[in-house]
Structure 1
Amino acid sequence: MTDENAPGERAPDGRSTGERPSDDPLAWELLDSEVAYSCPGFDVRRERVRLPDGTETDFDYLAEPESVVVLPFTPDGDVVVIEEWRQPVRRVNRSLPVGGTEPDDGDLAAAARRELREETGHEADGVELLTSVEPANGVANSVLHFFVARGCTPTAEQQLDADESIRVDTTTFEALRDHVASREIRDARTTLGVLYYEAFGD
């Protein structure tokens, strides 16, 4: 599938075709941009670019909405986690609640609250941004925004998507950290969230 992104229109990063993102001599010039393949959740975008040596080539990457990752603490200090079937790796994945932002989200904090509520049925007294990262910026434009949620209590119903199979559990932060250290948890978003919070959280 392709779109009608003719030269001069805006690419996902806001650039017009024919425009460099910066004056850095390493920058590539964007010549054209189109969606090569689209499915629920992400697109594969194909861009025609000119390299610094003048060579023209195609570059494909995964394009998706920004996502939020929530580290939710209950009033007692436990962590709300989810267990979800992950088809690409054919196993149940133990992780923090994660989800993409949506157009109706007022801001990133609202997206974090919504994802927490939809995936776990918990609502938070407050949420605060922990950090934002680009987890695979050589092959995707993905951005993950990590939030700490506090005072999380089960006051709502889960609202799962049709392709979500999720079980909710709680654990201590220490146990979660130990599961990361022992490689029982292999989910990269959970690993990063736990270790970043341990290093830089309050």
Structure 2
Amino acid sequence: MRVEDAPEAWEVVSSTERFKGRVFDVVTDGVRMPGDEVADRDYVRHVGAVAVVALDADDRVLMIRQYRHPVRRLLWELPAGLRDVEGEPLAETAARELAEEAGHRAATWHTLVDLLTSPGMTDERIRVFLARDLTPIPEEENGFVPRHEEIGMPVEWVPLPDAVEHALMGMIHNAPAVAGILAAYAASVEGFTGLRPADAPEA
């Protein structure tokens, strides 16, 4: 059997929206199960996101630290953002987030890994990109104005092997950061030659 996730949609006999927000909604679906029983499944409908493993010429990962209120922690993360511009290609969303949050642009882009962050409770999808051949954006060219949690976010360049160690030792908890760091390290073994293009379709 080929190990590959496959599309599947079981019959939804009822759907109730419990909450509607700017970024996500909360929904209860009545889903017909095997054996013809209908079971309620609560889940979060999410707009989705992108994240960027930005590697410099010394194979250091650009990381930012951001406050995340639901878990009451300052988390080390990758530059990331919501898929909240309709019709915008995901690679462009990622480039915009890298510029806004970290003040860098990249000449080389690849798709690194696709994530379903918590498929038992949300349909959120995150595409993690690998960005290389980085150059800083002059401050006067970057018109982004930080707000809320983004104000004063520190930026740190972490050697990729150290980032892997931090992830495995439980020092980094953000899911796309952990997945992206480990995927980048695995891809580096073959010189990043096996990666999908930046505009690869989502399955």
TM (norm. structure 2) is 0.78
One-letter identity of the residue aligned with 1:170? W
Rounded Cα–Cα distance in structure 1 between residues aligned with 2:186 and 2:104: 26
CA contact (8 A) 2:16 2:27 kept: yes
Looking at structure 2, the residues matched to 107 and 99 of structure 1 have their Cα atoms a distance apart, in angstroms, of 13
- 2:30 corresponds to which letter in structure 1? R
Do the aligned partners of residues 118 and 109 (structure 1) sit closer, same or farther apart at CA in structure 2, a change above 3 Å counting? same
Identity of aligned residues (%): 30
Higher relative contact order (CA closer than 8 Å, sequence separation 6+)? 2
The reply on whether 1:196 has 2:183 as its aligned counterpart is yes
Show the counterpart of 1:164. 150
**CA distance in 1 between partners of 2:57 and 2:63 (Å):** 15
User: 1:158 offset after TM fit, Å?
Assistant: 4.3
Partner residue in 1 for 2:135: 153
1:69 is aligned, of 51, 70, 92, to 51
Question: Structure 2, unaligned stretches of length 5 or more?
Answer: 1-6, 193-203
Contact 1:132 1:143 survives alignment (8 Å): yes
| 2:76 is the alignment partner of 1:90 | no
Instruction: Provide structure 1 residue ranges, at least 5 long, that are not aligned to the other structure.
Output: 1-20
- TM value normalised by structure 1: 0.78
- Structure 1 counterpart of 2:125, which letter? V
Give the aligned residue type for 1:95: E
Contact persistence 2:52–2:131 (CA under 8 A)? yes
Aligned residue pairs total: 178
CA shift for structure 1 position 163: 4.4
The AA in structure 1 aligned to 2:155 is V
- Cα drift, residue 193 of structure 1: 0.8
Residues 173, 158 of structure 1: alpha-carbon distance in 2 compared, 3 angstrom cutoff: farther
Secondary structure at 1:119's aligned position in 2?
helix
Q: Distance in 2 between matches of 1:66 and 1:161?
A: 20
Aligned-CA RMSD value: 2.1
Q: Is 1:44–2:30 an aligned residue pair?
A: no
CA distance in 2, matches of 1:57, 1:76: 52
